[in-house]
Structure 1
Amino acid sequence: MSDLDATTPRVFLARHGETEWTKNGRYTGITELDLTPEGINQVTSTAVQLVGRGRLIDPARIARVWVSPRRRTQQTFQHLFGATSCDREGNTVTLTEDIAEWDYGDYEGLRVSEIRSRRKENGLDQEMEWDIWRDGCEGGESPQLVAERLDRLIWQIREIQEPYMDGSKAVDVVLVAHGLILRAFVKRWLRYSLDTPLPMMLSPGAIGILSYRNHDVDEPGFFIGMALPSTE
């Protein structure tokens, strides 16, 4: 069986563009920040190359779009699709906390080094460094809570895509969200626990792609590379 092509439903992961806290590595959950000018450039450059009729993300093939309700992700959605409408009969764009960034609680606005120092001062992590995938956030979300809401969204996506694994109807999905929650989504898509080591990187304004192996809804996978549609 060959690798998948565009007839198999896909899930596109769109990370929001740069913010001021993205630049300096601060954990940004519920804090409302605008995209920087560079962040806008990142998203619009991605849109020019990848979004539009006949391109990788073809609005005519999109069945659903889920967007985190944070301001930076809504701005990203607008710049990503711009004048290219992703609306069509049966298509909806939904704001949902299910794909909002991890709630960092007491760690909001801090860097990893600051969090680890604070926890050790409070008598935690004396034998092992803090790891958000394992330990979660004081005053915020645990990995279990994050997994629950992502699994709820994955179930909805499978409900939409499962009847059309043969490509008889275009049912691609787009998630516009945040760096950490999208990496968490990948782990749950692959049915890994959130504390499973899986080093991943997703640049601001970047697009990731998930799908299914062998046109089988029970074989979720991810693309490590994908050929772009022909421009001819």
Structure 2
Amino acid sequence: MSDLDATTPRVFLARHGETEWTKNGRYTGITDLDLTPEGVKQTTSTAAKLVGHGRLIDPARLVRIWVSPRRRAKQTFNSLFGNGDSGSGLVKSDDDRVVITEDIAEWGYGDYEGMRTGEVKKWRKERGLDGDREWSIWRDGCEGGESMDQVTVRLDGVIDEIRAMQGPLINGERPADVMLVAHGLILRAFVKRWLKYPIDQDLPMIYPPGGISVLSYKNRNVEEPGFFVGLALPADN
């Protein structure tokens, strides 16, 4: 399958742009931060290169866009689809295709909100936890927050909905691309579940602020989910 003229439905994942806590490596779940000026540049630059009619992410081919309810994700959605002061966005926030939902909000960090990984590990060990192995959010979850199983349930619900929408259109009968605009950790968890791996599966991933990932299916088969290792971008008109 060539991405140049792909008709197999795709799933675009967009991580929000930089925030002050992104820069500092702090776990940011429910804390409602704005994008930094650099974060806005990241998302508008991505939009200029990848979003638009005839581009990789073509609004005319999108049938559903899930957006996390956090402000940084909403700002990223608006940047990606040109929803500035002019109001001439490619996809407006009140479009019927747009769903604002906690289903793709960031992992609930609970007591670890605002902390760094090293701080969490140190704090847990000081209280006698993790004596035989280091803490892993993927396996151990967060005290006062979400477990691996809880995150799995909500992401699997979204994945089931996506496959129900795209399965009947797997051969390109009509456009059926979808998009998620969310957060770094939850989107990496989503990739694991899309590939049918448990969330604690060791799968090192790097996901920069403002980054775009693309998932789809092998062999036009909804039971063979995959991801693009590389992309052939549409030719300039």
- Normalising by structure 2, we get a TM-score of 0.94
Q: 2:160 aligns with which of 149, 155, 160?
A: 155
- Residue by residue over 1:32-77, the C-alpha shift from the partner in whole angstroms, topping out at 9 and shown as x without a partner, is 0000000000000000000000000000000000000000000000
Q: 1:91: Cα distance to partner?
A: 5.0
| Equivalent residue number for residue 49 of structure 2 | 49
Runs of 4+ in 1 over 6 A off after TM superposition: none
Aligned to 2:132: 127
User: For structure 1, which runs of at least 5 residues remain unmatched after alignment?
Assistant: none
Q: Which residue of 1 aligns with 2:188?
A: 183
What is aligned with 1:35?
35
Q: Supply the AA of the counterpart residue of 1:205.
A: G
Is the aligned partner of 1:98 residue 2:103? yes
1-side partners of 2:171 and 2:107: how far apart?
34
Determine the C-alpha separation between the residues in 1 that align with 2:41 and 2:202: 32
SS in 1 for 2:25: coil
Give the structure 2 partner of residue 71 of structure 1: 71
| Conserved 8 A contact 2:13-2:181 | yes
TM-score for the superposition, normalised by structure 1? 0.96
Alignment length (residue pairs)? 229
Distance 1:159 1:96 in 2: 18
1:165 counterpart (154, 166, 170): 170
Amino acid at match of 2:58: D
Which residue of the partner structure matches residue 201 of structure 2? 196
Please say if residues 52 and 84 of structure 1, whose CA atoms lie closer than 8 Å, have aligned partners that are also in contact: no
What is the CA deviation profile of residues 105-126 of structure 1, one whole-angstrom value per residue up to 9, with x for unaligned ones?
A: 0000000000000000111011
Which residue of 99, 105, 113 corresponds with 1:108? Answer: 113
Structure 1 Cα separation of the partners of residues 228 and 152 of structure 2: 22
RMSD of aligned residue pairs (Cα, Å) = 1.2
Corresponding residue SS for 2:55? coil
* Cα distance in 1 between the residues matched to 2:31 and 2:173: 42
SS in structure 1 of the partner of residue 64 of structure 2: strand
Distance of 2:185 and 2:236 partners within structure 1:
33
1:140 aligns with 2:145: yes
> Percent identity, aligned pairs only?
65
